[in-house]
Structure formats: C-alpha cells, structure tokens
Amino acid sequence: MKPEVRVRFAPSPTGYLHIGGARTALFNWLFARHHGGKFVLRIEDTDIKRNTEEAMAAIYEGLQWLGLNWDEGPHAGGEFGPYLQSERTELYERYLKKLQDAGYIFEDQGALRFRSPREHVIVDDIVCGKIDFDLSNPATHPDMTIRRPDGSWIFHFVNVIDDLEMKISHVIRGEDHLSNTPKHIEIFRALGATPPQYAHIPLILNRDGTKMSKRDEGARVEYYIRRGYLPAAVGNYLCLLGWSPKDNREKLDIDEIIRIFDLKNIGRSSATFDPDKLHWLNGEYARELSDAEFYDLAFARLKSSGVKLDKFPEKYVRAALQTCKGKINTFDELPAYCGFYFTNDVDYSPEGVSKHFSAENKPRLKAVREALSALEEFNAAEIEATLKSTASKLGGKVGAIVHPTRLAVTGSNVGPSLYHLLEVLGKERVLTRIDRALTKF
C-alpha cells in the first residue's frame, strides 16, 4: 500500500496573504485532493517581533475565501499538533539534543550552528529535475545557524523537524526555497530520516518581469476579496500560473482541476500575472451565477459601498440588479454602473455632457420626453418601439437619441440596456430626470 500523501502550507504571519502564497497553498491543496491525501496548515510564527494577529487572521480568511479547507491545523486540530511553531518548543529541544549527541551542533558566539558534513547533495525535484549542490566549500556554504543567541529558532531547523514529525510526504513550495533544500536534506540525513519529495514551483512575476512584492496593489488576496472578485475565478486563474492542463483551456471547474492536477505539468519558467486576464475570467464566472447568487452578491456589495438600498422596495432593487447581470466583471464596478437607480440626484459624466448635451440634441431629447410621456404601457418593448419611431420621425438613427437619453436618466455613457433600465426606473422617474437634464443644457 502506498504511503499517504501529506502536504503542508506553512506561512509566516508577518504580512497579509500574498497571491504567491495563495497559489502555493492551492497547488498543495489540489495535490492532496487529487491523491486523496491530507492538506496541513502550519503557522511558522517563530519570528515573534514581526508576527501580528491581523496577519494571522488574513491567512485564515484568505484560505477560507478561496475554499482551501485544511484537514489539519489551527481550528481543525489533528494528531500531529500543535500547528503553531511557537507552541512546539519542547519538540525542537528534543531534536536539538539528538543532533548535539551526534556531534552535529557547535556554539558560535552564543548561537548554535549545524556542522555540515561537507558533501554534494543531489536534490531530485519533481518540477526542476535533479540538481547537484556542492556544499563542500565552507566559504560559499557556511555552517548554518539553527538557533539564535536569544534562544529563538531559525526557519531551516524547525521547518525540517515539523515536516518530519507531521509525516509530510511532499514539500511543494516556491522556487526561491530551492537553494535551502540541500541544507534541509542535510538535517534530515543527520537525524537518520528520509527527506520528503520536493517540488519547487516557478515564481509569479509582474508583467514587466519584476517579482510581485507585497507592495504591489494586486499582490494581496485581501485586495480581490475587497474588489468583489469571485473566489472560484481567482482560484481558477491561480491554477494557470505555472500549471497547464495541456489543452489550452483557461476556464476549468475546480473538480476537474482536482481530477487532472499533476505536478509534472508545472512548467519551469516564471509565471506572469496578468490582471486583465483575471478580470476577464472573473466576468465569465459572474455571468454563470444564478439570479439568486448574483442578487445576493450585488446587494451586499452595493450596501457595503454606502448605497441606501433599504429605501427602495425589494421588487425594484431586484429588477434593477437583474439588468446588471452579465454586464460587469467584478462587483466593485456596480456602484458606478447602476448607482443611478438608487438616487435622484445623478451626476452627469463631463465627457458625456460635452458629447451628448449639445444644442442639436436638445430638441431630440424633448421629442423623446414627449413620446415617452404618451406611453400607457411603460415596458421595455414599448419603450424600444417608441424610441425607434421617434428617431425615424426626426430623420436620424436611433443612436442619436439613445445616447442623450441615457445620459439624462443615468448620468453616464455606459450602463445596462437602455430600454430595460427605463422600464425599471418607471415613467415618473424617467420624465423627471429628462426634465432636469433639459434645464442643464
């Protein structure tokens, strides 16, 4: 029987969850789900001075938002806990004594260092292939510190001990850790243990080729939560950063990704983060939402942005938001896209005013007002027929009256279907807004 696949995501709570960290967590989660294994969340919080509760909460929130439920870890428990390194000191002391007794540890100015065996270490990486690291020269590879003079632990040591104790079978992490791996393998060997299999995934770069840093606006998972992205779309996009399904598809259901996910399909070259592609993909997911899902998300987004939806009948709000479905890519676009439904004091786009509130358009808008006021049935079909008839009488195309009419009632050049939004607003609101616009000409 094959040993159980056990992988881990081990972030440090010193900053918000980075999009690269989220991608690493996702690849680990996919690998575990593909093999029916376990996904472990371990918090590497030994850097007491830089750890924050806010960063810890952001890690939990970001992973939960993406749907990356962990099988073991904080809040989930498990037989290999505790899952915060700050609570595992006794364990580290035991392993330190093992290495001391075996002659691998020496003191240097109050710090404890691991005495390297001074040999070549071959890392057989699932993604990067076999790499021969020459650790024989102390000038280029000095003995690593594993404990600081103040008693705090260094990442290299506790990382290995936790992977060993938690029976981690595969370590999937960013390729910036590749150079650390031979050092980790040395500690495993010194403890008489077999190292896990390693897979180092390519880094995520900005479009200009620079490494995504936490200072970049789109580098935090929290940014996508705040902007109203859909977690399924973000997860789908992150999968494509380094991994490929090999058939050029870009939109894949998570269950299918789990079914076909293979570390051997991760490329070696760095992955370029394209915000425009993610924005497009999110729109594709938004279009597939049910009416109920779209309404709930749209309602929450508008309310959180300060739109007073409670002042309006639910039937009106539902009809208004329905005209937006399939027209936006992210939910933070909604206040600008459909805010006109929920205020009588619309602000006119300066560009629209200069283009459509012209002297020649004033009589056109007056004609539209007159035609609409005569309608007994104020629905999209009747409105469309009326505007087309009015344009014909004026001797022009319907676009010549559509644009000034839209600007008059919404204040914008873009938005939902004009005929449908006029129906939702209702005859009285529409005529009042056209009258207001006419006085602004």
DSSP state letters, 338-392: HGGGG-SSPPPPHHHHHHHS-GGGHHHHHHHHHHHHT-SS-SHHHHHHHHHHHHH
Q: Residues with Cβ < 8 Å from 357, sequence gap 6 or more? A: 348, 404, 407, 437, 440, 441
Q: Answer yes or no: 214 catalytic.
A: yes
Q: What is the dihedral of CA 303, 309, 310, 316, to 10 degrees?
A: -140
> How many Å apart are CA 360 and CA 421, to the nearest integer?
25
**Beta 197-201 vs 170-174: how paired, if at all?**
parallel
Q: Which residues sit opposite 381 in a β-bridge?
A: none
Structure tokens at 374: 């005569």
175-214 burial code (b ≥16 CB/10 A, e <16) = bebbebbbbbbbbbebbeeebbebbbbbbbbbeeeeebee
Q: What is the pLDDT of residue 140?
A: 93
- Give me the catalytic one of 167, 214, 362, 366: 214
Structure tokens at 150: 């103040």
> Which residues of the chain fall short of a pLDDT of 70?
none
Q: What is the dihedral of CA 293, 295, 298, 302, to 10 degrees?
A: -150
Number of helices (H) and strands (E) in the chain: give both, helices first: 18, 11
Q: What is the pLDDT of residue 433?
A: 95
Angle between helices 275-287 and 231-239 in degrees, nearest 10:
130
**What CA–CA distances, in Å, run from 263 to 66, 142, 198, 219?**
20, 32, 10, 24
Q: What is the pLDDT of residue 435?
A: 94
Q: What is the pLDDT of residue 49?
A: 76
> How many Å apart are CA 60 and CA 400, to the nearest integer?
53
Q: What is the pLDDT of residue 440?
A: 77
Q: How many CB atoms lie within 10 A of CB 273?
A: 21
Q: What is the pLDDT of residue 50?
A: 79
Q: What is the pLDDT of residue 359?
A: 76
Q: What is the pLDDT of residue 14?
A: 84
**DSSP symbol at 43:** B
**What CA–CA distances, in Å, run from 271 to 179, 204, 208, 281?**
19, 5, 12, 17
> How many Å apart are CA 215 and CA 16, to the nearest integer?
11
